[in-house]
Homo-oligomer: A and B are copies of this chain.
């Protein structure tokens, strides 16, 4: 896919030619003067490249190189097993493109920055330049690539649905309001209603896009804006199809990470989970397990609380040999108006959460496809069906049995990498107190 004659392909900040010469473009990360020559480490687009600069070349280039300079270096590639990538560049020509006017507020050149999350986030445009920080987002990119590749390969169509919406899909107070030319509007909490509409069009759809939640708790597991990886599939045989699709995605994604991100995973010391057959437990049994296995009585009846999620994952790992566990059949009144009830288990919905290493990373389920049933359910929830007349068109004109899920990208990244705070897995996190940078 070479496209600028004589200069491409540019990959990870360097152009390597067949004649053994290379061009390296990047930031001077570190300079070590060895007397007579210097070792340079150049931080390119996605890699660290070791270079050797002889005194004679240095003199020709005029200005002295300094840490933070952006440069274009020409040289010859020489095998060097001790350098990252297995080679170093003997520089023959130096071009300094720009020079910083200030030192970074964070210790970019240290192996580990060892700074607080607040200092990290306050200086985010610079702290992200640290090899550890950017490795997180190379892995995150791969998770998204794998999501798209896997779903596109299985008959799903990618869609783009509007974020400015007239009604909230999830209800509740955690919704951002805005003025839309004099009319009240909301920022989408999820693409839920739209992705269901699109099932009637394409059968299977997915979307990777921001969602917005005005939740007022400042925790290590919530963001007020995050990337939701959503899919929705029609012609279900049952909720099982959705969980099998997610399991297969996770298996595919972990394999993809192994192949594409080995260096980044090693740098961050991440251990990928094995994705076998993920155990499934009903909500009722999950509550019972917390009481009987751990001797604790926690949370309410409608949902699992964070400590219960931790305990259930502990249980799944010890007793079921899995770092993942599906919890299914949540109490129906606590699930949204579009969730389908299990006729064989009245009061419980065909809904599920996926827990991974102590944290919920997915909510999903089968949806109501029958018009009369959906109208009835709205009325049970105290919702006026007339407010959802566009949405109800799809039920009236015919919908197949369908369902889907939303998978939080930052949470998945966080749990794979073992971070305590979700903010580490967002480029520019938004929380109760932070909308900068």
Question: What residues make up the interface of A, taking CB atoms closer than 8 Å to B?
Answer: 1, 3-4, 8-13, 25-27, 44-46, 68-70, 72, 97-105, 123-126, 128-129, 133-134, 137-138, 140-141, 144-145, 150, 152-155, 157-166, 176-181, 183, 185, 187, 194, 197-198, 200-204, 209-210, 212, 214, 216, 224-225, 227, 234-235, 241, 244-245, 248, 252, 369-372, 390-391, 393-401, 409, 427-428, 430, 432-433, 435-437
Cross-chain contact B204 with A10 (CB below 8 angstroms): yes
Cross-chain contact B128 with A216 (CB below 8 angstroms): no
Top-9 shortest CB links A-B: A45-B203, A390-B437, A100-B398, A3-B248, A102-B396, A70-B400, A25-B235, A1-B153, A125-B197
* Residue from B97, B134, B152, B178 in contact with A235 in the complex, judged by beta carbons closer than 8 Å: B97
* Residue from B138, B252, B427 in contact with A160 in the complex, judged by beta carbons closer than 8 Å: B427
* Residue from B9, B105, B178, B427 in contact with A177 in the complex, judged by beta carbons closer than 8 Å: B178
Cross-chain contact B1 with A252 (CB below 8 angstroms): yes
Residue of B nearest to A152 (CB): B145
> Chain B residues with Cβ under 8 A from A11's Cβ?
154-155
Residue of B nearest to A5 (CB): B244
Cross-chain contact A369 with B235 (CB below 8 angstroms): no
Cross-chain contact A138 with B154 (CB below 8 angstroms): no
Residue of B nearest to A216 (CB): B181
| Shortest distance between the CB of A159 and any CB in chain B (Å) | 6
- Take A44-B203, A129-B201 as given contacts and tell me if A4 and B241 are in contact as well, using a CB distance cutoff of 8 Å: yes
- Take A13-B203, A101-B371, A201-B129 as given contacts and tell me if A141 and B163 are in contact as well, using a CB distance cutoff of 8 Å: no
Max chain B Cβ within 10 angstroms of own Cβ: one of A125, A128, A372, A430:
A125
> Chain B residues with Cβ under 8 A from A396's Cβ?
100-102
- Take A3-B245, A398-B100, A430-B162 as given contacts and tell me if A176 and B176 are in contact as well, using a CB distance cutoff of 8 Å: no
A8 to B370, CA, bound (A): 26
Max chain B Cβ within 10 angstroms of own Cβ: one of A10, A227, A398:
A398
Residue of B nearest to A194 (CB): B428
Cross-chain contact B185 with A435 (CB below 8 angstroms): yes
A185 to B434, CA, bound (A): 11
Copies held by the complex: 2
Cross-chain contact A187 with B178 (CB below 8 angstroms): yes
A400 to B70, CA, bound (A): 6
> Chain B residues with Cβ under 8 A from A103's Cβ?
397
Cross-chain contact B197 with A25 (CB below 8 angstroms): no
With A4-B241, A128-B201, A145-B158 known, 9 other A-B pairs at CB within 8 A are A10-B204, A45-B202, A101-B372, A123-B393, A144-B158, A159-B427, A166-B435, A177-B178, A181-B216
Cross-chain contact B128 with A400 (CB below 8 angstroms): no
> Chain B residues with Cβ under 8 A from A160's Cβ?
140, 210, 227, 409, 427
* Residue from B4, B128, B204, B394 in contact with A198 in the complex, judged by beta carbons closer than 8 Å: B128
> Chain B residues with Cβ under 8 A from A244's Cβ?
3-4
Cross-chain contact B212 with A164 (CB below 8 angstroms): yes
Residue of B nearest to A200 (CB): B129
Cross-chain contact B125 with A394 (CB below 8 angstroms): yes
> Chain B residues with Cβ under 8 A from A248's Cβ?
3-4
Residue of B nearest to A400 (CB): B70
Max chain B Cβ within 10 angstroms of own Cβ: one of A4, A11, A104, A369:
A4
Residue of B nearest to A8 (CB): B154
> Chain B residues with Cβ under 8 A from A158's Cβ?
141, 144-145
A100 to B393, CA, bound (A): 10
> Chain B residues with Cβ under 8 A from A70's Cβ?
234-235, 398-400
> Chain B residues with Cβ under 8 A from A12's Cβ?
155, 203
Cross-chain contact A27 with B432 (CB below 8 angstroms): no
| Shortest distance between the CB of A433 and any CB in chain B (Å) | 8
